[in-house]
Amino acid sequence: MGKAVSQKNKKKIHLADFSGIILGVLAVIILSIANPKFISGTNLGNLGQQASINVLLSLGMLLVIVTGGIDLSVGTIAGFAGVLVAGYITQGMPVFWAIMLVLLIGAFLGAFSGVMVVYGGVAPFIATLCMQTIARGFTLLYTHSRSIFVSDETFLWIGNAAVFGIPIPIIIMIVLTIILQFVMRKTTYGRSLYAYGGNPNASYLAGINTNLVVLKAYIYSAIFASFAGIVLASRMAVGSPLVGPGMEGNAIAAVVIGGASLAGGTGNAINTLIGALIIGSISNALNLFGMQSYLQKVVIGFITLGAVLIRSLPEKLKKN
């Protein structure tokens, strides 16, 4: 025991945390060498805008994953938010209030999942899986399976305009990442969140209101998801009932590639952003290569698996 061990502990953790990012950055470098178009300003701009949606989903997902849970409903909540905001705006509601209302509704859905988990003892997987279906149902009900087209200039500005040459969605994703990083690292909520993820019992004993910590994580996740849906609807100029199912997959992948453990207690916003950008870059680069999107899914699946294996395999081998 003693000094030698503690040094070793420090080093090992660092590597595992960044393994996914290292792997991903490597992949990106290889891809950009293979196709220089990747690095062009236009392409990077596209890349950023496309990835921004996933970044928003992933940031919310990060909070829930740090608590040791998972949120399978982020995709369909995003879809629901998209059609709702489109619907409200086409019915004449001012853009600002429409967005506020949709975020509020999203928060409510998140609170519902959170209450199920915290007070109902329902496993996060199940609670959010059910919410996923419920939100999907709401989406189809609300739209009668038809898309809602939006032409309101103010609304479309969010997803399509640029400030100082930088597309707004990119600004949004960077700003929110910074804010979340701050909250997680520097506020009492963030500290409590990591403590709970690391050891729920010890956190409770230390006087932390663990129920509230977890509940808030699900609420924030749903709010981020709703925001993602709003930005996406703006970009596409349509609230589409096709959006939603499946999006949670990339969000989880981003969080995991960014080094967070699904057991909870680790992970941060900036790494999650990087994780989402890596996924986005790979999709983007493979597009430039002309690879079909279905094959891209296979590639991303393997990369995510690789990122997790780098962390889990050494632990498993040590146990033997």
Partner 1 sequence: MPKKQKTGNDRRPNKEFLELVEISKSFPGVQALDRVSISVRQGEVHGLVGQNGAGKSTLLKILTGAYRQDSGKIIINGEEIRIKTPADAQKWMYMIYQERTLVPDLTVAENMFIGNWSLPGGEKRKNAKIVDWKTLNTEAEKVIKKLGFDFDVKRLVRDLGAHEQQLVEIARALAIGGEIIIMDEPTAALPRKDIENLFEIIRQLKKNGVTVIYVSHHLQEIFDITDRITVLKDGKKVGTYETSSIDEDQVIKLMVGKDLGQERKLTANVEQKNILLEVKDLTTKDNILKNISFSLAKNEVLGIAGLIGSGKEAVGRTLAGLKKIESGEIILEGKKILPKSPAYSINQGIGFLPSDRNLEGLVLGMSLRENVTLNILKKISKYLVINAPKEQSLVNGAVKDVNLVYSSIEQQADSLSGGNRQRLLIARNLCADSSILIFNEPTQGVDVGAREEIYDLIRNYAAFGKGVIIASSDLSELLKICNRIMVMSAGEITTTFNNDTLTEDRLLQELA
Question: Which residues here bind partner 1, judged by CB under 8 A?
Answer: 1-3, 5-7, 9-10, 13, 186-189, 191-192, 194-195, 198-199, 201-209, 265-266
Q: Which residues pair with 148 in a beta bridge?
A: 239
Burial code (b: 16+ CB inside 10 Å, e: under 16) for 22-46 equals: ebbeebbeebbeeeeebeeeebebe
Can you tell me the distance from the alpha carbon of 16 to that of 25, in angstroms, rounded to the nearest whole number?
A: 15
Nearer to partner 1, 191 or 297 (CB): 191
Of residues 16 and 299, the one with the C-beta less far from partner 1: 16
d(CA 287, CA 294): 11
C-alpha–C-alpha distance, residues 51 and 59, integer Å: 12
CB 308 to partner 1: min, Å:
18
User: Which CB sits closer to partner 1, 14 or 146?
Assistant: 14
CB of 242 to partner 1, least distance (A): 40
CA distances from 90 to 75, 87, 98, 150, 214 (A): 23, 5, 10, 6, 36
Min separation Cβ 202 and partner 1, Å: 5
Q: Which helix (H) or strand (E) holds 240?
A: none
Q: Name the residue nearer to partner 1 (CB basis): 13 or 34.
A: 13
The least distance separating partner 1 from the CB of residue 106, rounded to whole angstroms, comes to 22
First to last CA, the chain: 21
- Nearest to partner 1 of 60, 197 (CB atom): 197
Least separation in angstroms between residue 7's CB and partner 1 is 8
In the complex, least distance from residue 60 CB atom to partner 1, rounded to whole angstroms = 19
d(C-alpha 65, C-alpha 15), whole Å: 20
Work out the number of other CB atoms within 10 angstroms of the CB of residue 82.
Answer: 32
Least distance in Å: CB of 17 to partner 1?
Answer: 11
Alpha carbon 168 to chain centroid, angstroms: 18
- Report yes or no: 50 and 249 within 8 Å, Cβ to Cβ: no
**Residue number, 87 or 265, with CB nearest to partner 1:** 265
Q: Please identify, using beta-carbon distances, which residue of 113 and 210 lies nearer to partner 1.
A: 210
Q: Residue 292 phi/psi, 5° resolution?
A: -65, 150
Least CB distance from residue 201 to partner 1, whole Å? Answer: 5
Return the number of the residue (143 or 266) whose C-beta is nearest partner 1.
266
